[in-house]
Amino acid sequence: MKPIRKLAFVVNGDKPGARELARVLMRQARAAGVRLKQTTRFPLAAGYLRGFDACCVIGGDGTLLGVAREASRARVPIIGVNRGSLGFLTTFSADEARAHFSDLLGGAYQVDQRSMLDCSTGPGLHDLALNDVLIKDANTSRLVRLEVFAGDELVTEYTCDGLIFSTPTGSTAYNLSAGGPLIHPSADVVAMTPICPHTLSNRSIIFRQGVKLRVCSRSPEANLLVAMDGQRNLRVGVNAPVQISVSRHTLPLVQRLGYSHFAVMRTKLNWSGGVAQPHRTGA
């Protein structure tokens, strides 16, 4: 890949060690002649990344989600350095960043394009999500009836606590906690997972990438909440449908050379179990 000559830093100062790590990495970047700027504020303002080659986010996955919309619109790759807990999106550990940052700046990296969801709740009311779109009643203790259409075709009606629409990237987030499937990031699909459905037969549904989904409330008393990546809420007009589709924007995510998604899953999710050895008989 091309060398990084202009680099923006987004640092979550509330994460232990984040500021110190930022100082170390910025020293390396300055020594390589890289032009820098830094902020501790996120979500980012529109245009903040314009003209930069990459953005280094130091924090947790929530920090990276606060940068994702602007990075996708500006087509600026994100280098995620984990100072949070699991860190599915911030794929570089602090030690990896220290050891390999100079190589990254020189072009020793690959970029994975992650799909995003576009959600609209009315004219001028739309947003992007990297992980998921959550639809539920604003009153968290109340069931809601939600009717789902794929294009003009009725899928089904749910009575549940809510619905999660997830990208492959977001399949390890709320979707996984609600019993949804793990999906490889390169799969061109959208997962819909009901939260505590009031039936034993409802399961996750996987839709193709080009689907146009529409969700309508069938609970007259419901006040729908639409949450984007668990960080931002969209207002929903009375009787207005919620429309969800795969966005034309993607998030360019920097990964080290030789990155393995399944190796990350094994580590982050503590997968265990040995490989069975073939039975051998004596001579």
pLDDT tens digits, 132-181:
999 999 877 789 999 999 999 999 999 999 999 999 999 999 999 999 99
Average pLDDT score over residue span 76-99: 93
Domain ranges across the chain: 6-109+256-268, 116-248
Higher per-residue pLDDT: 124 or 2 = 2
The CATH architecture one would assign to domain 116-248 is: Sandwich (2.60)
Cα dihedral angle (69, 173, 209, 242), rounded to 10 degrees?
A: -70
pLDDT of 273 > 70? The answer is no
C-alpha to C-alpha distance for 25 and 179, rounded to whole angstroms: 38
- Residue 276: the pLDDT is 54
CB 23 within 8 A of CB 30: no
Annotated catalytic residues are: 61
pLDDT of 282 > 60? The answer is no
pTM of the model: 0.92
- 35-39 and 212-217 as β-strands: parallel, antiparallel, unpaired? unpaired
- 224-228 and 132-137 as β-strands: parallel, antiparallel, unpaired? antiparallel
Please state whether 5 falls in left (phi above 0), alpha (psi between -120 and 50) or beta: alpha
**Burial level of 275, CB count in 10 A (0-12/13-18/19+)?**
exposed
CB 53 within 8 A of CB 76: yes
Confidence label for 9 from pLDDT (cuts 50, 70 and 90): very high
Q: Which residues contact 227 (CB under 8 A, 6 or more apart)?
A: 133, 134, 136, 233, 234
- Residue 114: the pLDDT is 98
pLDDT tens digits, 195-218:
999 887 788 999 999 999 999 999
**Burial level of 89, CB count in 10 A (0-12/13-18/19+)?**
buried
Confidence label for 283 from pLDDT (cuts 50, 70 and 90): very low
Decide whether 6-109+256-268 matches 116-248 in CATH topology.
no
pLDDT tens digits, 28-42:
999 999 999 999 999
Q: Between the CA of residue 106 and those of 2, 63, 103, 136, 279, what are the distances in Å?
A: 7, 25, 5, 46, 49
User: What does pLDDT average to over the chain?
Assistant: 93
C-alpha to C-alpha distance for 31 and 51, rounded to whole angstroms: 21
pLDDT tens digits, 114-145:
999 999 998 889 999 999 999 999 877 789 99
Helix, strand and coil content of the chain, in percent to the nearest 5, comes to 20, 35, 45
pLDDT of 275 > 60? The answer is no
Q: Between the CA of residue 255 and those of 81, 89, 269, what are the distances in Å?
A: 10, 10, 19
How far is it between the farthest Cα atoms of the chain? 78
**What CATH topology corresponds to 6-109+256-268?**
Rossmann fold (3.40.50)
Confidence label for 85 from pLDDT (cuts 50, 70 and 90): confident
- Residue 274: the pLDDT is 57
